[in-house]
Amino acid sequence: MTSNWFQSTNARIAGAFAMALLLQIVGTLLIPGYSAPFAIRALLVIASLLAVASIGQTLVVILGGIDLSIPFVIGFANVVAAQLYGQGWNFALVCVLVGVLAIAIGALNGLISRGLNIHPLIVTLGIGMIVQGAVLLWTGGFPSGSAPQVVSSLVSIGGSVGPLPVPLLVPSLVVLTALIVLVLARTPYGRRLYAVGSNPEAAPLALIDPLRMWILTYAASAFFAAVAGVLLLGFTGSAYGDVGQPYLFQTIAAVVVGGAALVGGRGSYLGTIAGVLVLTEINTLLIGLGFRPSTVQAALGLVILLLVSLYGRERHVRATI
Amino acid sequence: MSPVLRQLRGVGFAVVMLVVLLVLNVVLNPARFQPSSWGTLLGLAAPLIGAAVASAPVILAGRGGIDISVGPLMGFVNALVIQLLFLNLGISSPWIIVPAALLVGAAVGAANGALATIVRIQPIVATLGTYLILTGVTLTILPAPIGPAPDWLKAMAGPFSIMPLALIGLCWLLIRRTPYYDLLMAVGSDDRAAYTAGVPVTRVRLIAYVVTGLFAAAAGLMLTSLIGSADPNIGPTYTLIAIAAVALGGVSLAGGRGGLGGAAIGAIDIFLLQSLLTTFNVSTYVLQIAYGLILVVAVVLTAVQERLSKRKG
């Protein structure tokens, strides 16, 4: 049944990857140097950063939630890491502290949203605003400090790992992707995640504690957002509180283009990776063709609508009875 | 329990906050809150009230209904009215500007509605698409802030600021008297039951998006009169704070519960809080924390209150 395969999750992911490849070919034909080694390296690094930021959004969306606090946590990790490192802290200690704080923020998101049954959109927005305000208050709006050499070389576009001409971030992300796919498909946590997402009422009957799942997943989301924040510190070189803001809608767009349903229970990290590649390709292509950023943004909106209307449609009410 | 009381219970916390904040503001800052400056004050709060009221109908329609393009639509109307109509075409008559703005709002709302209900893209994704398109187009036709605005429009932020808000209120009161309102609430609370009962669910939701677009355009006009110019960057900032105001005002994001009055009260709460903290001369950073804190505390208290009242019976 071809129609069935076309509607399956695998087809969506394959479609998104094909789309990214197509865009790469179009770019190569239209823009000289589009497939030059340096250009591809830059594209991979930028895509990897978005991919790390989107890990949490993917998990949370499969769970049936949404996380608007990701950009705020990215900014928080970015600024706090730079500030503390600048004050002479040991960088490993800084990372542990930032990670633990992020996990606490995320756990609070999950606890309030699920425990009191409040829409996560509102909770994560509110918590995010508090986090951002606190960071601004602490730094007075002018964060200082810089990234240690380790992080910079981890994400530098010119970096290389052994024989590979890419910085360590890219192969690490490949390993991380394999791990996440494995966790989602083969561990009890993964099964429970899909179970809670597809039917929150039935999950407790299968002895799954939804509250625990929400706390764990939102904590993971904030943790990966913090990782993205620290990586961005290495990428840009200096701290900036609003560095995460573009990631608010980009993570959601990547997840959705990758075939996940915001109602929960459907989606995969491989799909998100495909979505990330599509978004990065479109961005690079249009900027390369000389369009202004504002036009690129409008085109991005159009492409999201187009892709999602092709394969991300919801069921009619009549089909839900 | 009388219907009025039942209406109020949902927004209970927001009303209490409104009274407390109003008293604090009047006591601590009598100069700013004297009767003669009420018009200006209301003009200051008007765009946020408009944005919150505009965000409410689609949320009431349920099943994840939400319109995050309200803020960008306000910015788009702002840019269109000043740059295209007033400066390029030299039109300053309110009889052309207002209908044109409302028409644009209704058209964008209809497009959102078609995407969310007929194409059936999840509303947050559909309106994210229009969010990006509207922001991009606004920045293209208006790369930098430009002015001025027609005089009559600027006056709407001063002594006459009650007029556009009153018109929106009247509009909603009229909608509430039609059968459409009952259908909207029915669809919002249980669309499957409504569908089995013969309610045209798709059409009801589509109309909710058009109403949201209309109100958002009105909010865009109020924004234009407040800033007296066109600025491509202000509109989008209203989206999230408007949704926060709606939640604060006791409108359930699951749909079917709450009303536009609650959304307006939520917006006024946020405005009064802002005004109070500015009186204390605290930094904008503290303001940001306070926003988030009040939002979280308010929704938590509303949830706890609901839980307790359910337990009682």
Counting Cβ atoms within 10 Å, is residue B21 exposed (0-12), middle (13-18) or buried (19+)?
A: buried
pLDDT digit string (tens) for A159-213? 888 888 889 999 999 999 999 999 999 999 999 999 999 988 899 998 999 999 9
A66 and B143 within 8 Å at the Cβ level: the answer is no
Question: Do you know the residue count of chain B?
Answer: 313
Q: Lowest-pLDDT range, A85-89, A212-216, B230-234, B283-287?
A: B283-287
| 3-state SS class at A238 | strand
CA distance B279 to chain A (A): 18
A122 and B131 within 8 Å at the Cβ level: the answer is no
pLDDT of residue A2: 44
CA distance A142 to chain B (A): 12
CA distance B17 to B245: 13
Q: Percent of chain A, pLDDT > 90?
A: 58
Question: H/E/C letters for each residue in A71-87?
Answer: HHHHHHHHHHHHHHHHC
Most confident of A185-189, A311-315, B303-307: A185-189
pLDDT digit string (tens) for A142-152? 888 888 888 88
Q: Lowest-pLDDT range, A157-166, B84-93, B118-127?
A: A157-166
Q: Is it the case that residue B144 has pLDDT exceeding 60?
A: yes
Q: Lowest-pLDDT range, A132-141, A183-192, A193-202, A253-262?
A: A253-262
Amino acid at B199: V
Question: What does the block give as tokens for A58?
Answer: 């993917």
Mutation site for B-interface testing, chosen from A317, A318, A320, A321 by largest number of B Cβ within 10 Å: A317
A302 to chain B: closest CA residue? B129
Q: What is the ipTM of this complex?
A: 0.86
Q: Are B71 and B242 spatial neighbours (Cβ–Cβ below 8 Å)? A: yes
Q: Is it the case that residue A6 has pLDDT exceeding 60?
A: no
Q: Residue B285 is nearest to which of A128, A136, A256, comparing CB atoms?
A: A136
* B9 — pLDDT class (breaks 50, 70, 90): low
B229 secondary structure, DSSP code: S
Q: Is it the case that residue B271 has pLDDT exceeding 90?
A: yes
Question: What does the block give as tokens for A68?
Answer: 């608007």
Phi, psi of A258 (to 5 degrees): -75, 5
Mutation site for A-interface testing, chosen from B128, B284, B305 by largest number of A Cβ within 10 Å: B128
B124 to chain A: closest CA residue? A262
CA pseudo-torsion sign A131, A136, A137, A143: positive
Amino acid at B274: Q
CA distance A218 to A230: 19
CA distance A64 to A109: 14
pLDDT of residue A315: 82
Beta strands in chain B (DSSP E): none
CA angle at A50 for the pair A77 and A275, rounded to the nearest 5°: 150
Task: Note the helical H segments in chain A.
Answer: 2-7, 9-30, 37-63, 70-86, 91-115, 120-139, 149-155, 169-186, 188-198, 210-236, 247-257, 269-288, 293-311
Phi, psi of B226 (to 5 degrees): -70, -50
Q: Domain A9-310: which CATH class?
A: mainly alpha
Which chain B residues are within 8 Å of A70, Cβ to Cβ?
none
Mutation site for A-interface testing, chosen from B138, B253, B296, B308 by largest number of A Cβ within 10 Å: B296
For B5, half-sphere exposure in the C-beta direction (CA atoms, 13 angstrom radius) is: 2
Mean pLDDT across B142-155:
90
Q: Residue A125 is nearest to which of B133, B244, B303, comparing CB atoms?
A: B244
Which chain A residues are within 8 Å of B120, Cβ to Cβ?
313-316
Q: Are A247 and A224 spatial neighbours (Cβ–Cβ below 8 Å)? A: no
Rg (C-alpha) for chain B, rounded Å, is 19
Long-range contacts, stretch B180-188, CB < 8 angstroms, 24+ apart: B180/B204, B180/B207, B184/B57, B184/B60, B184/B61, B184/B208, B185/B60, B185/B256, B186/B256, B187/B61, B187/B62, B187/B255, B187/B256, B188/B60, B188/B61, B188/B62, B188/B65, B188/B255, B188/B256, B188/B257
B253 to chain A: closest CA residue? A119
Q: Residue B292 is nearest to which of A118, A133, A141, comparing CB atoms?
A: A133
Amino acid at B275: S
Counting Cβ atoms within 10 Å, is residue B93 exposed (0-12), middle (13-18) or buried (19+)?
A: exposed
| 3-state SS class at A255 | helix
Q: Residue B292 is nearest to which of A126, A261, A308, comparing CB atoms?
A: A126
pLDDT of residue A1: 39
B122 and A314 within 8 Å at the Cβ level: the answer is yes
CA distance B90 to B94: 12
Residue in A250, A261, A258, A255 with CA at minimum distance from that of residue A301 = A250
Phi, psi of A238 (to 5 degrees): -135, 160
pLDDT digit string (tens) for A270-291? 999 999 999 999 999 999 999 9
Q: Residue B289 is nearest to which of A130, A300, A321, comparing CB atoms?
A: A130
- The ranges assigned to domains in chain B are 43-301
Q: Is it the case that residue B3 has pLDDT exceeding 70?
A: no
Mean pLDDT across B184-212:
95
CB pairs under 8 A between A and B: 165
A262 and B287 within 8 Å at the Cβ level: the answer is no
pLDDT of residue B1: 46
Q: Is it the case that residue B132 has pLDDT exceeding 90?
A: yes
CA distance A107 to chain B (A): 15
Report how far Cα B259 is from the mean position of its chain's Cα atoms. 12
B125 and A252 within 8 Å at the Cβ level: the answer is yes
CA distance B54 to B220: 10
Cis peptide before A210 (omega within 30 of 0): no
Residues 6+ apart with CB under 8 A from A38: A157, A158
Q: Which residues of B242-263 are buried (b: 16+ CB within 10 A; e: fewer)?
A: bbbbbbbbbbbbebbbbbbbbb
